[in-house]
Amino acid sequence: MKLAVYNIKGEDTGKTVDLNDEIFAIAEPSEHAVYLNVKQFLANRRQGTHKAKERSEVSGSTKKLGRQKGGGGARHGDINSPLLNGGGRVFGPRPRNYSFKLNKKMKSLARRSALTFKAQNNQIMVVEDFEFAAPKTKDFVNITKNLKIDGKKILLVLSGHNKNVFLSARNLPNTYVITASDINTYRVLDNKMMVVTESSVDVLNNLK
């Protein structure tokens, strides 16, 4: 698959890049693999520190509130009963680890499937490598306007870490900057346009 290369002014440079069909045009993309990988990504980000106090952990007297029989109503234990206001919670959330493992072949299939879906929907754009002399959000906004993608959720893929570009895009909503070596299924799908720099194409073409 060939894609045209644009400059930061939004002009077609006349150059093209080849996207590896084994990465961007696989024969059988798997939606289930994508689902599992995204589920794992989101699960692994959960802290799992939620905690509610149960009956034995609530602060309060353990004295029995009333006699067992003859009161004319339901039996009550102490004031920490889950039936009473301020009592403990029944089967409340406990700290737990939500993460789970996914084998490398499944994660690779999911990433290649996500990139294939992006390519099929014409949501990948290639731009020439660019640099900023200093962090400036206005310069980054001008690039998105020139490429006619302002207002869209954008993923910018760089070949390596670029501090000035990262800082220029950091304050913009719906904009995320990532290096090609760190690309993952969730980030590929969580945008409306994936902008790839020319030098990062080689990295993406050699993903395993």
Cα dist from 114 to 29, 46, 108, 118, 128, whole Å: 8, 23, 10, 6, 23
Full-prediction pTM beyond 0.95? no
CB 60 within 8 A of CB 79: yes
pLDDT in tens, 126-136: 999 999 999 99
- How many structural domains compose the chain? 2
CATH number of the domain to which 110 belongs: 3.40.1370.10
**Confidence at 59, pLDDT banded by 50, 70, 90:** very high
The pLDDT value given to residue 1: 85
Q: Kindly state whether residues 197 and 122 are assigned to the same domain.
A: yes
Judged against a pLDDT cut of 90, whether residue 100 lies above it is answered with: yes
Name the amino acid, one letter, at 88: G
Which residue from 112, 166, 108 is spatially nearest to 134, judged by alpha carbons?
166
Phi then psi for residue 156, to 5 deg, are -100, 125
Q: Which of 97, 124, 157 is the last residue of a domain?
A: 97
Q: Kindly state whether residues 135 and 38 are assigned to the same domain.
A: yes
Q: Kindly state whether residues 52 and 105 are assigned to the same domain.
A: no
Q: Which of 82, 97, 112 is the last residue of a domain?
A: 97
Judged against a pLDDT cut of 90, whether residue 102 lies above it is answered with: yes
Q: Kindly state whether residues 109 and 14 are assigned to the same domain.
A: yes
Q: Kindly state whether residues 135 and 178 are assigned to the same domain.
A: yes
Q: Kindly state whether residues 41 and 104 are assigned to the same domain.
A: yes
Q: Kindly state whether residues 83 and 183 are assigned to the same domain.
A: no
Q: Kindly state whether residues 8 and 93 are assigned to the same domain.
A: no
Q: Kindly state whether residues 10 and 88 are assigned to the same domain.
A: no
The pLDDT value given to residue 153: 96
Provide the CA 199 distance to its chain's centre, in angstroms: 24
Q: Kindly state whether residues 67 and 168 are assigned to the same domain.
A: no
Q: Kindly state whether residues 20 and 105 are assigned to the same domain.
A: yes
For residue 27, what are the domain limits?
A: 2-46+100-205
Q: Kindly state whether residues 10 and 111 are assigned to the same domain.
A: yes
Plot region of 85 (φ>0 → left; ψ -120 to 50 → alpha; else → beta): beta
